């Protein structure tokens, strides 16, 4: 290809990587690329978000539902800085994403020119890799590296900053070669047969083994291998919130969720197992509670692709490094067929206690205001476990993760490590575009919804059939719960006076309704699901409902509270 501009080269790079969806917002420093996008609109669909943060969250939702690399694009200065929250979210949650930002001309760099910001310096701590292009001749190589780095090994976000003169510069020749290897970058560590054998020996001799799995199973496309491993070994398994849906909810070896608002049994029995097998998870503090008391009695095996995560928080006895799909496949012949029925009964016994004290009261509530769990129950009844659930951050997130039933993988999309309020609405849009055949339901609190409420405009413009459920308690619920339990009910700046969400939705020409009565809830949820197009359902819930079980911050997982 000859005599094309740097801006056109950018478009050809995207096409070579199979990109057909972009989420972005135009501006001066990226305008040459947008001018070329206009010419290629039949090949690349650009989704015009209403705020650049929405572009990154939409790209995240797209990546998580489709398994592809999400792409976001913005201009320099405030356009670029508005991407940073979503980039940081993608980094900690290992989401493959490429962000493209425009930049002032290279002759103006460092001069505080209009809308100039050092986005390379700003984004360095929250990207897997970043690079500033100042010459058109760099474009092909840098884009190839960016996509390779974003999706290889442990995925993550990459940022490419392109000066305006590099976009205008004419390339006499253009050639694109996909990147398959980068010297000094080892995306997947080599498997060690000795570690596999040592892990298998420990597993085969365990009396009370316990698996905790995370999103690594999903990112590694290892769901089938993981299921085979559990069924052969007979080991009970619990999930982190990002690992949810890798194994069907109703699988007999699926014993629930670990962590601060996880299930009673998995948390309690973490400190009673004799072998703890961590698969594709990073021992986050919300999972472990106090590290001083976490699983001290157990031998710990860690299946992990990123060597930096091994022994970072929890000292392990055996590290099985490598791609989890391959490491599980290799260890499968080494483990013995087994069952641990008596050990699994201990999880069931704890579940009965939790059911009587918490679950029955929340999930099958019969009087008083509507509970969050009742809403999730109605969604379960009307989707049969086949929808994609996208949650924001807060009480509703914990309740939705605890109670939603899933049959299929890549069904739970949420902000895990960063805990970004405002994530769900744009992420749900991206998830629907990433997998248009599946029902996508966004469950959002009244606080988080208002942080990216403007993306209703994007949903209206794209006609994406996202179903939005606002759980409205007129509070920043999770913060209020902590204030109640640990700050003597001093509700400092957590009560909200909310607008008319239904009226706002109708202002965006999105069908909507509101429900507060128990006997009308199921019909309203059914009406939302059956609606052809986007729909918003506002549900008024109990004003001061709390989420239990709960591990107080910094406490041992054994100190989990039911009330």
Catalytic annotation, pick one of 52, 225, 374, 524: 52
Phi and psi for 178 in degrees, rounded to 5? Answer: -65, 140
Segments of 429-515 assigned E as strands:
440-445, 467-472, 511-515
What is the distance between the alpha carbons of residues 167 and 4, in angstroms, rounded to a whole number?
A: 10
Task: Report CA-CA distances (Å) from 454 to 294, 426, 457.
Answer: 43, 9, 6
3-class state of residue 361 by DSSP: helix
Catalytic annotation, pick one of 68, 164, 268, 410: 164
Q: Active-site residue 52, yes or no?
A: yes
Helices (H) and strands (E) in the chain, counts: 24, 20
Q: Active-site residue 354, yes or no?
A: no
CB atoms within 10 A of CB 502: 17
Segments of 56-156 assigned E as strands:
70-74, 97-103, 129-133
Q: Active-site residue 501, yes or no?
A: no
Query: In Å, how far from its chain's centre is CA 4?
Result: 38
Nearest to 148 by CA among 175, 177, 121, 181: 181
Query: In Å, how far from its chain's centre is CA 314?
Result: 23
Pairing label, strands 440-445, 388-391: parallel
Catalytic annotation, pick one of 115, 330, 461, 484: 115
- Omega of the bond prior to 405 within 30 degrees of 0, cis? no
Q: Active-site residue 352, yes or no?
A: no
Nearest to 326 by CA among 220, 450, 180, 182: 220
Helix or strand (DSSP H, E) at 480: helix 477-486
Catalytic annotation, pick one of 1, 114, 197, 495: 114
Per the CB < 8 A criterion, the answer to whether 362 and 371 are in contact is: yes
Angle, in degrees to the nearest 10, between helices 223-233 and 324-331: 30
Q: Active-site residue 164, yes or no?
A: yes
Catalytic annotation, pick one of 478, 483, 538, 548: 478
3-class state of residue 214 by DSSP: coil
For the annotated catalytic residues, the residue numbers are 52, 114-115, 164, 478
């Amino acid at each position: 290809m000859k005599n094309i501009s740097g801006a056109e080269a950018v478009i050809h790079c995207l096409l070579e990587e199979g990109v057909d969806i972009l989420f972005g917002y135009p501006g001066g420093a990226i305008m040459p690329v947008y001018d070329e996008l206009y010419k290629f609109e039949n090949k690349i669909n650009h989704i015009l978000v209403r705020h650049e943060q929405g572009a990154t969250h939409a790209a995240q939702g797209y990546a998580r539902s489709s398994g592809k690399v999400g792409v976001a694009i913005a201009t320099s200065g405030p356009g670029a800085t508005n991407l940073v929250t979503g980039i940081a979210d993608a980094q900690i949650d290992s989401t493959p994403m490429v962000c493209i930002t425009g930049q002032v001309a290279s002759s103006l760099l460092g001069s505080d020119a209009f809308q100039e910001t050092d986005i390379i310096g700003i984004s360095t701590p929250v990207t897997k890799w970043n690079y500033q292009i100042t010459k058109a001749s760099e474009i092909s190589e840098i884009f190839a590296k960016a996509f390779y780095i974003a999706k290889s090994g442990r995925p993550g976000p990459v940022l490419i900053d392109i000066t305006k003169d590099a976009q205008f510069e004419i390339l006499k020749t253009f050639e694109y070669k996909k990147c398959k290897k980068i010297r000094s970058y080892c995306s997947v560590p080599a498997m060690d047969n000795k570690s596999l054998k040592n892990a298998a020996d420990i597993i085969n001799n365990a009396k009370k083994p316990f698996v905790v799995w995370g999103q690594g199973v999903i990112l590694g496309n290892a769901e089938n291998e993981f299921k085979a491993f559990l069924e052969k070994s007979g080991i009970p398994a619990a999930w982190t919130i990002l690992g949810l849906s890798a194994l069907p909810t109703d699988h007999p070896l699926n014993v629930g969720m670990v962590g601060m608002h996880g299930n009673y049994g998995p948390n309690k029995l973490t400190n009673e197992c004799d072998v703890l097998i961590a698969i594709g998870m990073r021992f986050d503090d919300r999972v472990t509670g106090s590290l001083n008391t976490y699983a001290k009695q157990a031998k710990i095996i860690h299946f992990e692709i990123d060597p930096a995560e091994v022994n970072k928080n929890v000292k392990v006895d055996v590290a099985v490094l490598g791609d989890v799909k391959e490491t599980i496949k290799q260890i499968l012949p080494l483990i013995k067929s087994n069952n641990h029925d008596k050990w699994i009964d201990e999880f069931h016994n704890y579940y009965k206690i939790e059911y009587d004290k918490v679950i029955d009261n929340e999930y099958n509530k019969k009087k008083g205001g509507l509970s969050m769990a009742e809403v999730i129950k109605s969604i379960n009844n009307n989707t049969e476990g086949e929808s994609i659930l996208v949650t924001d951050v807060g009480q509703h997130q914990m309740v939705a993760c605890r109670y939603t039933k899933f049959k299929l993988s890549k069904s739970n999309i949420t902000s895990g490590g960063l805990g970004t309020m405002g994530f769900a609405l744009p992420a749900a849009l991206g998830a629907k575009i990433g997998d248009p055949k599946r029902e996508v339901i966004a469950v959002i609190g009244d606080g988080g919804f208002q942080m990216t409420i403007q993306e209703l405009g994007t949903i209206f413009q794209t006609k994406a059939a996202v179903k939005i459920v606002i759980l409205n308690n007129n509070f920043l619920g999770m913060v209020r719960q902590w204030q109640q339990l640990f700050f003597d009910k001093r509700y400092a700046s957590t009560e909200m006076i909310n607008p008319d969400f239904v009226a706002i939705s109708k202002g965006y020409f999105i069908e909507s309704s509101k429900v507060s009565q128990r006997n009308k809830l199921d019909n309203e949820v059914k009406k939302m699901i059956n609606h052809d197009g986007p729909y918003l359902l506002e549900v008024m819930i109990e004003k001061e409902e709390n989420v239990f079980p709960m591990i107080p911050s910094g406490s041992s997982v054994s100190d989990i509270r039911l009330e």
